[in-house]
Every structure is written in C-alpha cells, then in structure tokens.
Amino acid sequence: MPAPAEMRIVLKNIDKPGYTRDIDCYLKHGGYEELKKAIAMAPADIIAEVKASGLRGRGGAGFPCGVKWGFIDPKKNTKPVYLICNADESEPGTFKDRQIIHKEPHQLIEGMIISCFANNVKLAYIYIRGEFPYGAKILEEAIEEARAHNFIGTNILGTGYDLEIYVHRGAGAYICGEETGLIESLEGKRAYPRIKPPYFPAVLGLYMCPTIVNNVETLCDVKHIIKMGGAEYGKLGRPNNTGTRVICVSGDVEKPGYYEFETGKITMGELIYEVCGGIKGGKKLKAIIPGGSSAKIIRAGEVFKVKEKQADGSMADKEIKLEDVILDFDSLAAIGTMAGSGGVMVMDETRDITRCLANLSEFYAHESCGQCTPCREGAQWMKKITRRIATGEGRAADVPLLKSVADNIAGKTICAFGEACSWPVQSFLAKFKDEFDAKAAAGTGPVVRPVEPTMSAPKGSAAYKAAKEPVIAG
C-alpha cells in the first residue's frame, strides 16, 4: 500500500509558488474569513467547537486544547486573562513553527485573535525564540497590517472587542519553551520554571493572572476548526488523535523536511521509506527518535507488544513492528515513547550511538536552568560520563553509573525538563546497552586533565586554553 498523500491544512499555502506573506495575499486566499465568522459567535460556542474537535496541543505534551481553555471559568474569574503563543520552537528536531511564522504569519495571527476572543483575552504576546530575528520582524509587520484592517486594536470589526498582540523575543535559552519558564521570562526575569501546583498557568500565569499558553501550530489549528466546525475537524485522524499533524524529519534520510498528514494515518515505515525516500546513501536504519530529542529512542528491528482494543471491547496482546507503528500520540505512547513535538530524528547504521547520546547530553547540560539540584548536577554528570564513554575514555562501571544518575532525576524536579533530559539517557542505554557496554569497557578510563575553566579563569590563562572541546559528532 503506498503511503497516504499529505493532507496540508496548516501548511496549505506554505511554499506554494507565488504565495507571499503579506496580508493582501492572505486575504485573497480567504484569510480572516474565520475571524469574521468567529467574532459573530458566542465565545462559549467557540470553546465548545474546539472541545468538540478533540484538538490536542502541538507543542509537545498533547494536552487537549479545549480542556485547557475550559480551566478558566469566565463566571468566577475576576482577573484579566492573557494568552501567549509559544513560538520558542527549540526542541531539537522540530522546525515547523518557523515555516508558519516566516511564510504565513497571518494564519497564526488569525488563529490567535479567534482564540483570544473566545477566552476574553485583551492582551496577548507571541514569545518567539531569539534566533528568529526576522520571524519577530515579520510578525510585527503582520500585526500592523492586521491592525490597519481593524482585526487587532480597539473595537475590532465593530464588535466592541479590543485586543492587543505584542511580540516578545527570547534570547537563546531552551527552557523558555517550558510554559512557566516562558512566563517568568516574559515577566522580565530568568526563565526559571515555576512549580505546579500551585502555578498552573490557567490559575497563576502571567502577572499571576489566568493565562493560556499554546503552540503556534495549535493556534493555527483553531482557525481551521472554526472553518470546518469542531465535529467535522474531529473526524479527521483517529479518535483522541484528531486533525492533522506537521511532522519534521531530519538526520539520515534522503528527503528530510516538514510534512503534514492526517493524524494517525501514516506509519513510521511509510514516513521513512516512502515519504522521505529511505535512509541516505542506501544505508540501513539504526535508530529513530520520534518526537523531538526528549522522546525515547527506538531501535531498528524492534518489535513491540501492545494491547489492542478488540471489536467486543476486550483488550488483546498484539505484536507490532517498528515500521508499522502509527505516528500519533497514543500509538507512540503505547510503544513507550512519545509523539512530542513531531520532530523525527533518524540515525543510520554507521552512527556511533554513544556519540549521538553524548551530543544530546551536552544539549541538556547546557540548557538546564539550574534551579533543581538533580537536574542541574545530573545533566552535567550525564554529559561528562557520556562524553568520556563516547571518546574512548570510559570504563565498564560508567554504564551503570550513568543509568543511576539518569534514574534519579525524573520526578524529582520542578519542571518536565528533568524527564526530558533523562529519557534520552535511559532509553539509549536500554536499547543499545551492548554498544555502550562494549565502548565503555574498551575505554582507557577517565583521563586526568586540568580542571575545566570556571567563571574565575581569566581569558588567556592555562585553564582557559586547556578547555578543548572533544569532537562529539555523529
């Protein structure tokens, strides 16, 4: 059976020849029609449509969007409600929001205005990562264009509804993608995530007011839900995994890129071997990280035992090959990993898996915000131990040591970064234990070097110069 064709809803106009990002082009293609439709609806009805659609957040956690919005009770709440678009896009392997922001910013803005109207939001921010300087400019221009058409500002389209949207730039810290870290950052502080409870954004968010944080793609989906109706949108995909999903593929495939499919209609095998043209250079597959770098790795040739619901409602065991795994939230969760942010990273048979993990561990060590001891110290140790295994300076005892470090982080931290940094280590070790054991055992053991430079090592000193980065390429 050939792979299903892409179903481009969010990406419909992206990369279309002749399509430009200005408002005139957007309007010519039916832009802002859904805003006009939504703004004539009762806010509660918009929320009901989003609930009916079954839309789950596209930022990583897959939380149902309508349920999230429903946490704020307009009858009881007396504070202003804020909405923040999470455009931090920093999960390694994910590069979809960038496309929308750069190529069709008005789709996002229209989705945002509808979402703000539905939740009685008068002030909203787009938190965009610092490394998208043009993205920020493009969004600011688009906001001004929308303002000129009275889609933003006061008395929008004569309805009496007022809304301001501003762009806020991050500055290179991954943890700003975590919604409470993002909120702290937007308040002008370090992006230290807040502990939940009590700091659920829906209760104590931006400026301690109820706040909705949604990913770029999620907010775009809202526009299409209004267009199609929640029930119709909910028919796309599979139950509990509705709509479409943008999947980003990178690494060792012939045709990396971003693709949009009806959720749950494509398997891993179809994605890699048909859509992406197979493994680069005719090599064989070694491993896949299916949902952004935090998602647990899966090994080529793996067969998973899953429970499957039968027609009569009973559950039966079923074996499923990696190639046949369906790419949606529930199917990937069932095989012990996650759909996460939709970033699929592929490694071929020639890759040294210990080096791949060393690369990711370095990422997490760099990005831990440092508030929680298990995460801050654990991430550093995971980096050091994987690095020395990968560069041939390990010893047999390093593998269990590494595992014990990873096992003592998750669940003991303020935010989900703790899980995000330990899952790769735990899963790489579980799936490729043979390779880690062999490489660690063959190592020389830790080599004594001058201490790494610290904040107190002056530039030009010996300690500074001793800090050579070992090469941890793939």
Partner 1 sequence: MSSVTDTSETTHSASHDVHDPHLHDEVKVELSPDFLAQADKIVSKYPVSKRSAVMPLIYLWQDNFGYVSQQGVRWIAQRIEIQPINVMEVLTFYPMFRQHPVGKIQFKVCRTLSCALAGSYETCEFLRKKCGITEIDEHGLGVSDDGKFSVEFVECLASCGTGPVVMINDDLYEKVDTSKAQELLNKVS
Ligand X SMILES: Cc1cc2nc3c(=O)[nH]c(=O)nc-3n(C[C@H](O)[C@H](O)[C@H](O)COP(=O)(O)O)c2cc1C
- Tell me which residue of 440, 444, 448, 360 sits closest to 400, measured CA to CA: 440
For residue 119, state whether it binds ligand SF4 (rule: CB under 6 A).
no
The tokens for 379 are: 């991430």
Using the rule CB under 6 A, give the single segment among 35-43, 135-143, 294-302, 413-421 that binds ligand SF4: 413-421
For residue 90, state whether it binds ligand SF4 (rule: CB under 6 A).
no
Q: Nearer Cβ to partner 1, position 72 or 182?
A: 182
Using the rule CB under 6 A, give the single segment among 36-44, 88-96, 355-363, 412-420 that binds ligand SF4: 412-420
Q: Kindly tell me the number of DSSP H helices and DSSP E strands found in the chain.
A: 19, 13
Strand residue runs (E) in 37-97: 81-87
Q: Nearer Cβ to ligand SF4, position 99 or 386?
A: 386
Q: What are the φ/ψ torsions at residue 17 (nearest 5 degrees)?
A: -55, 135
Minimum distance from CB of 201 to ligand SF4 (Å)?
Answer: 15
For residue 331, state whether it binds ligand X (rule: CB under 6 A).
no
Torsion of CA 267, 270, 275, 277, to 10 degrees: 140
Query: Is residue 302 exposed (0-12), middle (13-18) or buried (19+ Cβ within 10 Å)?
Result: middle
Minimum distance from CB of 286 to partner 1 (Å)?
Answer: 11
For residue 170, state whether it binds ligand SF4 (rule: CB under 6 A).
no
Strand residue runs (E) in 2-140: 81-87, 121-128
Using the rule CB under 6 A, give the single segment among 65-73, 107-115, 139-147, 364-372 that binds ligand SF4: 364-372
Q: Nearer Cβ to partner 1, position 169 or 235?
A: 169
∠ CA 90-96-98, rounded to 5°:
70
Pairing of strands 121-128, 164-169: parallel
Residue 413 binds: one of partner 1, ligand SF4, ligand X, none (C-beta under 5 to 8 A by kind): ligand SF4
Question: Residues touching ligand X: how many (CB under 6 A)?
Answer: 22
For residue 415, state whether it binds ligand X (rule: CB under 6 A).
yes
The tokens for 150 are: 């009275």
Q: Which residues bind ligand SF4 (CB under 6 A)?
A: 175, 193, 368-372, 375-376, 413-415, 417-418
Q: Which residues bind ligand X (CB under 6 A)?
A: 57-61, 63, 86, 88-91, 177-179, 213-215, 218, 415-417, 420
